[in-house]
């Protein structure tokens, strides 16, 4: 029987205890039992996001929370700065434009990261910008942005800082309060190891003040309704109860391991993955790689889509391809959540074998050896570190 290994940057593998939780008898959401569980989940999310701000839970994909972060903050005709470096930061622009918001666009080539000085310049040129929209981990390219530096140039201005951390939170440092993030957007199906279908927003007092001051073209995504429900705590509309129950399990595992250790483990796996890929002569996409996932170009002359199909059919290894202008040119591999050292080593071994089967000149074992050295060097520091599974 072929064993399947899901190493895409979302959805990711759901740990066994969370899968079992999905099979439990459903409870009613307007009960003390569910409210107690919801309170635990919201506190767990605050811990992962490193915030004391309100955290709201939406039954939607991460894109739903992105839309909520736009329509609740910037009125039609208002101005927003969008930092665009890939498919998912592009989504900020598309949402803003859909609601009649004037977009000031700072664009860098896919694979590159933003410089805080360029953001500061735009803020000086557009002092009426209501918000700056950006990403922590641009999962279409594997780039990690320096949100701390961006936060420092946004902080002295009236603009709010809004960060898509959907593929970053729980995998790499995400210090919402320390970095001055006013609205953080996260999804359940990535480093939080839950099934798809839940999204979260951490909202600062400054963001609430802005939300209260404008007409919001929203009903289901009206965040004031979610804030009012927090007093119970509750949700204004029926939540995806089984997904909340499952998320409680993964958040308990993350707290038991410790978020700093989770970040360290993801970072070690990221270094191992990059070392293995580079040992095969493949080029990384990101100039500033994220610790959540790695994106790399296929070797010249290789049919990338055929390689990914063969990886899955031959070895059960599921990686993600590229999007937009990178479609068919790159693959993406996640190293967060329930992914461990042997998952990375087996995936790299499978890539080596498939490349060889496709006629590429490959030194078998090179990628595995390079990754193994990184893992071995990290072993003394990693000793005793727990697991999220």
75-91 per-position pLDDT tens digit: 999 999 999 999 999 99
Instruction: State residue 1's pLDDT score.
Output: 84
Does the pLDDT value for residue 389 go beyond 80? no
Q: Which residues pair with 84 in a beta bridge?
A: 107
Task: Return the domain boundaries, the chain.
Answer: 5-10+258-382, 16-256
**Counting runs of H as helices and runs of E as strands, what totals does the chain give?**
13, 14
Does the pLDDT value for residue 386 go beyond 90? no
Instruction: State residue 354's pLDDT score.
Output: 98
In CATH, the number for domain 16-256 is 3.40.640.10
Does the pLDDT value for residue 108 go beyond 50? yes
CA distance 190 to 14: 9
Tell how strand 131-135 and strand 79-84 pair up.
parallel
CA distance 293 to 20: 27
CA distance 298 to 304: 6
Query: DSSP state, 272?
Result: H
Does the pLDDT value for residue 118 go beyond 60? yes
In the chain, DSSP assigns E strands to: 5-6, 54-58, 79-84, 102-107, 131-135, 137-138, 143-144, 160-164, 183-187, 199-203, 293-297, 317-318, 320-321, 330-334
pTM: 0.96
DSSP 329-360: TEEEEE--TT--HHHHHHHHHHHHHHHHHTT-
CA distance 176 to 211: 19
* pLDDT per residue as tens digits for the range 204-233: 999 999 999 999 999 999 999 999 999 999
Mean per-residue pLDDT for 124-149? 98
Instruction: State residue 387's pLDDT score.
Output: 54
Q: Which of 267, 268, 275, 294 is nearest to 369 (CA)?
A: 275
- Supply 270's token pair: 């990221």
CA distance 165 to 184: 7
Query: DSSP state, 328?
Result: T
CA distance 191 to 200: 13
In CATH, the number for domain 5-10+258-382 is 3.90.1150.10
Does the pLDDT value for residue 2 go beyond 70? yes
Does the pLDDT value for residue 388 go beyond 60? no
CA distance 203 to 73: 11
* pLDDT per residue as tens digits for the range 167-202: 999 999 999 999 999 999 999 999 999 999 999 999
Mean per-residue pLDDT for 249-255? 98
Instruction: State residue 384's pLDDT score.
Output: 39
* pLDDT per residue as tens digits for the range 270-301: 999 999 999 999 999 999 999 999 999 999 99
Does the pLDDT value for residue 381 go beyond 90? no
User: Do the domains spanning 5-10+258-382 and 16-256 agree at the CATH topology level?
Assistant: no
Instruction: State residue 39's pLDDT score.
Output: 98
Per the prediction, the chain carries an average pLDDT of: 96
Does the pLDDT value for residue 165 go beyond 90? yes
Q: Which of 131, 120, 60, 128 is nearest to 92 (CA)?
A: 131
Q: Is 112 exposed, middle or buried (0-12, 13-18, 19+ CB in 10 A)?
A: middle
CA distance 59 to 41: 14
Q: First and final CA of the chain: distance in angstroms?
A: 23
Q: Which of 358, 365, 294, 356 is nearest to 330 (CA)?
A: 294
């Amino acid at each position: 029987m072929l064993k399947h290994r899901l190493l895409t940057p979302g959805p990711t593998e759901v740990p066994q205890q969370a899968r079992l939780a999905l099979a439990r008898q459903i409870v009613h959401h307007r009960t003390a039992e569910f409210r107690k569980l919801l309170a635990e989940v919201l506190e767990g999310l605050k811990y992962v996001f490193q915030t004391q701000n309100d955290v709201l839970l939406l039954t939607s994909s991460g894109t739903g929370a992105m839309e909520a972060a736009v329509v609740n903050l910037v009125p039609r005709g208002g101005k927003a700065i969008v930092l665009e470096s890939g498919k998912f930061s592009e989504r900020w622009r598309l949402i803003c434009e859909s609601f009649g918001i004037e977009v000031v666009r700072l664009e860098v080539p896919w694979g590159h990261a933003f410089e805080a000085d360029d953001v500061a310049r735009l803020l000086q040129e557009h002092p009426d910008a209501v918000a700056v929209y950006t990403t922590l981990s641009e999962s279409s390219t594997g780039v990690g942005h320096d949100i701390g530096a961006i936060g420092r140039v946004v902080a002295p201005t009236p603009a709010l800082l809004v960060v898509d951390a959907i593929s970053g939170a729980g995998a790499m440092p995400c210090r919402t309060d320390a970095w001055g993030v006013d609205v953080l957007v996260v999804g359940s199906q990535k480093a939080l190891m839950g099934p798809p279908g839940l999204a979260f927003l951490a909202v600062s007092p400054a963001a609430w003040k802005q939300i209260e001051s404008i007409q919001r073209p929203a009903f289901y995504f009206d965040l004031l309704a979610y804030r009012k429900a927090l007093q119970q705590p509750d949700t204004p509309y029926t939540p995806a109860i089984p997904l909340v129950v499952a998320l409680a399990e993964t958040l308990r595992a993350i707290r038991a391991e410790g978020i700093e250790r989770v970040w360290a483990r993801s970072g070690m796996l990221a270094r191992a993955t990059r070392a293995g890929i580079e040992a095969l002569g493949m080029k990384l996409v990101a100039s500033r790689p994220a610790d959540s996932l790695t994106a790399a170009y296929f070797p010249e002359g290789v049919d990338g889509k055929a390689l990914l199909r063969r990886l899955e059919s031959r070895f059960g290894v599921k990686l993600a391809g590229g999007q937009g202008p990178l479609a068919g040119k790159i693959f993406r591999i996640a190293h967060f959540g329930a992914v461990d050292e042997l998952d990375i080593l087996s995936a790299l071994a499978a890539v080596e074998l498939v490349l060889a089967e496709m006629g590429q000149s490959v030194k078998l074992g090179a990628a595995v050896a390079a990754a193994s050295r990184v893992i071995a060097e990290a072993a003394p520091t990693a000793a005793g570190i727990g697991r999220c599974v």
